[in-house]
Amino acid sequence: MLLEKSTIGSKFGLSLDAKEVEAIEKSNKMHEQATAHDRAELQGHVLVVDDSVSNHDFIKLLLKRTKLTVDYAENG
């Protein structure tokens, strides 16, 4: 639903009833549990090759909770 249109941007609004919010929260919780389980199952070694330090940092965050060991290289 569009609430306001201006030259800078638009404001949007969203309204949900309690049942919709509960369903979204339940779905999010199930996804988080499944993702945590999947991460815990990953084991092994990974070589990340990328010349971007920010990509290395991002991948470190993604792999932080796994049992993977990781080596990083800037180029091949």
Q: What percent of the chain has pLDDT over 90?
A: 0
> Distance between CA atoms of 11 and 58, rounded to whole angstroms?
31
At a CB cut-off of 8 Å and minimum separation 6, what does 13 contact?
A: 1, 3
> Distance between CA atoms of 54 and 48, rounded to whole angstroms?
12
Q: Which residue has the higher pLDDT, 45 or 43?
A: 45
CB-based contact 44:68 (threshold 8 Å): yes
- Looking at residue 72, what is its pLDDT? 87
pLDDT tens digit string along 11-34? Answer: 777 787 888 888 888 887 877 777
Compute CA distances 42 → 16, 27, 34, 58, whole Å.
37, 23, 13, 18
Q: pTM of this prediction?
A: 0.42
- Looking at residue 3, what is its pLDDT? 56
